A and B are shown apart, each in its own frame.
Chain A
Amino acid sequence: MSDNSGNSVNTAPLLQVRDLVHEFRTDLGTVHAVSGVSFDVRAGETLGIVGETGSGKSTLARAIVQAPRPTSGAVVFRGADLVTLRGTRLLQARRHLQMVFQDPFGSLDPKWRVRDLVEEPLVAYKTGDRTARRRRVGEVLELVGLAGYSTRRPRELSGGQAQRVAIARAVALNPALIICDEAVSSLDVLIQAQVLNLFERLRAELGLSYLFIAHDLALVKQVSDRVAVMYLGRLCEVGPGEQVYRQPLHPYTRALLDSVPGTATARAAKTIRGEPPSPVHPPSGCRFRTRCPRAEPRCADEEPAMRERAAGHVVACHFPLEGIPA
């Protein structure tokens, strides 16, 4: 484990993603799912990624864990570039990088009992003997609040309990970083709150970091230290959560915030127009320009670079909101 100094400036980030590109061929043409994404996740930090369907956020998550491998770019996790690693070295590096997905039942073999499901990653990494593994299974089930459930099978669990099993599996190997891809999105609100609180407790108790990916802005805000906003394969804006939500710099972030039901502006503001363009033919320059109220000719000609407009708050926009001098 790297040290837990968290926000200390001279600590190397836990995860460094650089110029990550993921493209794949379909019969319609090449899909530009992730087009040059860069960010860091520091030790002990939760970075939230907000994006809508088709923004490439799930592809990004999978490209980070090299399943499948990205087209190009670097994914440096605890000092090793996963993109260059193969075989057992990749497997070992990935041991401390776990994922939790949206559909808990989809990732749990229905025939297995809870204790075997949680033991499986320990077996896969040949961790300890059977007694030690069973002890570890007991520990993590206790940790996620499922102590009495070890002999149940997935169909005997509720959605929230099944998601706890998925979390127990992810936690069993003592990871440094957990990538949550819409991990609570399919749960009822009370269950969702319980699982969110569990994520927070594990973070505090185990010193975990999260990359928390979701389409729900309030959800992401709840758990994140910093928030990145993704649109059509690129990041628009990254900054401290409180700041991004209070003073968004990118017009797309503003539009997202205005769409949240119940916010003062939601009903008054004009909802964002049109459909996102196809990732097969993304717009030139800024990818949001076709739906952006502030777009000018320059936005079509020139891709906006990420620029720091306030401390730790970067935006990729030629005409950012608020007009804070760079």
Chain B
Amino acid sequence: MPYANGGPDDGPDDGPDDGAEQVTEALLDIEDLRVTFPGSKNREVRAVDGLSYSVYAGQTLAIVGESGSGKTVSCRAVMGLLPATATVTGSARFQGIQLIGLPEDRLREHRGADVAMVFQDPARSLNPTMRVGAQIAEAVRVHRAVTKAQAREQAVDLLRLVHMPLPERRCAEYPHQLSGGMRQRVMIAIALACRPRLLIADEATTALDVTTQAQIMELLLELQAELGMALMLISHDLGLAGAYADEVIVMYAGRIVEQAPAVDLATRVRMPYTQALFEAIPRLERPAHAPLPVIGGRPPDAATPLPGCAFEPRCRHAEDDCRAAAPPLAEHEPGHRWACWHPVDGAPDVR
């Protein structure tokens, strides 16, 4: 156990044991989640438009999409972190408890303790005027009845857990004295302070260098295995998602357009949008100066939904039926769901 230094008070809620007995039961079950915001001229903006998925203990699920695809909004809706103007409907059950519509004080019990989030910008999430040790200790004390001294000790242990070099010394430092990678380790330490069952990493490594990103991703997977957490990676980077996740969900215009085990998605992409995303990524294997195959246009205006498939205006394979009705998301192959009337076949062209 990584908490060997944490003392005997670890309690029964930690460790993967109880999760292992109920592998088939989802930790988080999202059903028909919808989020709308009031737009101009009394039109509502559909940011998330009927989202359903499940996350299991020990699983790494990636949600991939461009800015505005609804990937971050959907997670914030589950966490109760959206502004009051947002209207959230549907169901999000965490270990059977319905989170949607739960009063703020009840939600706060779950936030941090059961579900924790790590964001892209650690500099903005940390308090610049507070030493990092005190910030971690504060997170520990919010959810646990421990003395200040015990919380301080646990802060050092948490920094050790996230492989921070010289954890005792770092505790006494301020965020600006740390590198970006070290600040992100502090954020992860804070997120882990209450040993959450589910950790949501929202573009958590996007701002980091490639070697630091690799370190943080390895750290997250290692902690996930040790603590039996479920891990959700919210990212715009299909390459990162494919390399580190078990399962990948691709979102477009507030909906899931494809969902598959990471290995299947890389070799048997079906939805033309996913294919376009794959092809547009510069890859080490590609020869220099070869034009990137790229689609034009932009995602549709979320305030004026199309009658048909939202991707149709940009799709090379679009036909009349795509304009007439939106294709439903269905499991066409075992474990592989997609929403498309004319799916493509085979591996994306990345050469």
Q: With A192-B280, A216-B282, A222-B292 as given contacts, are A262 and B243 in contact (CB-CB < 8 Å)?
A: yes
Cross-chain contact B286 with A221 (CB below 8 angstroms): yes
Residue of B nearest to A258 (CB): B214
Interface of B is mostly: loop
Question: Are A262 and B210 interface neighbours, CB within 8 A?
Answer: no
Cβ of A245 within 8 Å of any chain B Cβ, yes or no, is yes
Choice from B66, B240, B289 contacting A200 with Cβ under 8 Å: B289
Is B276 part of the contact surface with A, judged by Cβ < 8 Å?
yes
At the interface, yes or no: B238 with Cβ under 8 Å from chain A?
yes
Using a CB-CB cutoff of 8 Å, which residues 212-248 of chain B contact chain A?
212-215, 217-218, 236-240, 242-244
Q: In angstroms, how far is the closest chain A Cβ from the Cβ of B210?
A: 5
B12 within 8 A of A: no
Q: Which of B208, B281, B288 contacts A241 (CB 8 A)?
A: B288
A263 / chain B contacts, CB cutoff of 8 Å: 284
Q: Is A272 an interface residue (CB 8 A)?
A: yes
- A194–B240 alpha-carbon span in the complex (Å): 21
- Cβ < 8 Å to A, chain B residues 236-267: 236-240, 242-244
A259 on the B face (CB < 8 A)? yes
Q: Is the CB of A188 within 8 A of B284?
A: no
| Partner among B182, B217, B282, B289 whose Cβ is within 8 Å of the Cβ of A218 | B282
Q: Which of A159, A190, A219, A266 contacts B282 (CB 8 A)?
A: A219
Query: Whole-angstrom distance between the alpha carbons of A32 and B114 in the complex?
Result: 45
B288 engages A52 (CB within 8 Å): no
Interface string of B293-309 (1 = CB under 8 A from A): 11110100000000000
- Whether A275 is near chain B, meaning CB under 8 Å from some CB there, is yes
Choose among A192, A242, A259, A263 the residue with the greatest number of B CB atoms under 10 Å from its CB: A259
Interface residue A68 (Cβ < 8 Å from any Cβ of B): no
Is A275 in contact with B182, judged by CB distance below 8 angstroms? yes
Q: Which residues of B contact A159 (CB under 8 A)?
A: 67
> A261 is contacted by which of B213, B215, B293 (Cβ under 8 Å)?
B213
Among A193, A224, A242, A245, max chain B CB count under 10 A is at: A193
Inter-subunit contact A266/B214 (CB<8 Å) = yes
Asked if B277 is at the interface (CB within 8 A of a chain A CB), the reply is: yes
Q: B286–A222 contact, CB under 8 A?
A: yes
Q: Are A188 and B282 interface neighbours, CB within 8 A?
A: no
> Is the pair B237, A242 in contact by a Cβ cutoff of 8 Å?
no
Question: Whole-angstrom distance between the alpha carbons of A242 and B284 in the complex?
Answer: 9
Q: How far is the CA of A263 from the CA of B350 in the complex (A)?
A: 13
Given contacts A158-B298, A261-B214, A262-B243, contact A190 B209 (CB under 8 A): no
Closest to B69 in A: A188
A9 beta carbon closer than 8 Å to chain B: no
Partner of B240, one of A224, A261, A272, A276: A261
Residue in contact with B242 in the complex, picked from A215, A225, A255, A262, CB distance below 8 Å: A262
Residues of A within 8 A of B180 (CB): 53
- Binary contact readout A168-195 vs B (1 if CB under 8 angstroms, 0 otherwise): 0000000000000000000011101110
Which chain A residue shows the least CB distance to B284?
A218
- Using Cβ atoms and an 8 Å threshold, which residues of chain B touch A189? 66, 236-238, 277, 280-281
In the bound complex, do residue A215 and residue B276 qualify as a contact, i.e. CB atoms below 8 Å apart? no
B291 contacts A by Cβ under 8 Å: yes
B291–A197 touching, CB < 8 Å: yes
List which A246-270 residues lie within 8 A (CB) of chain B.
255-263, 266-267
Contact call B282/A222, Cβ cutoff below 8 A? yes
- The smallest C-beta distance from A290 to any residue of chain B, in angstroms, reads 12
Q: How does the 8 Å CB contact mask read for A272-302 relative to B, with 1 for contact and 0 for none? A: 1011100000000000000000000000000
Contacts of A255 in B (CB 8 A): 211
Q: Is B284 a contact of A197 with CB atoms below 8 Å? A: no
Do the beta carbons of B179 and A275 come within 8 Å of each other? yes
Q: How far is the CB of A155 from chain B (nearest CB, A)?
A: 15
Q: Name B280's closest neighbour in chain A (CB-CB).
A: A193
In the complex formed, the residue of B with least CB distance to A145 is B296
CA distance A189 to B287 in the complex (A): 18
| B292 cross-chain contacts in A, Cβ below 8 A | 193, 196-197, 222
- Bound form: Cα–Cα A274–B212 in Å: 9
CA distance A271 to B281 in the complex (A): 22
Whether, in the assembled complex, B181 has its beta carbon less than 8 Å from a beta carbon of chain A, the answer is yes
Query: What are the residues of chain B within 8 A of A317 when measuring CB–CB?
Result: none
Known: A188-B66, A190-B294, A215-B210. A261 touches B284 (CB 8 A): no
Judge whether A260 and B238 touch: CB under 8 Å. no
A208 at the interface (CB under 8 A from B): no
- B67:A221 contact, CB within 8 angstroms: no
| Alpha-carbon gap, A232 to B77, bound state (A) | 42
- Sample 24 A-B pairs with CB under 8 A, ordered by A number: A52-B211, A53-B209, A189-B237, A189-B280, A190-B295, A194-B296, A217-B210, A217-B284, A218-B286, A222-B288, A222-B290, A223-B288, A223-B289, A225-B288, A256-B211, A259-B213, A261-B214, A261-B217, A261-B237, A261-B244, A262-B239, A262-B243, A272-B214, A274-B165
- Known A53-B180, A196-B282; further 10 A-B contacts with Cβ < 8 A: A52-B210, A159-B67, A219-B282, A221-B288, A224-B288, A259-B210, A260-B210, A261-B239, A271-B214, A275-B181
Binding site for B on A (CB under 8 A): 52-54, 158-159, 188-190, 192-194, 196-197, 200, 215-219, 221-225, 241-242, 245, 255-263, 266-267, 271-272, 274-276
Binding site for A on B (CB under 8 A): 66-67, 165, 179-182, 208-215, 217-218, 236-240, 242-244, 276-277, 280-284, 286-296, 298
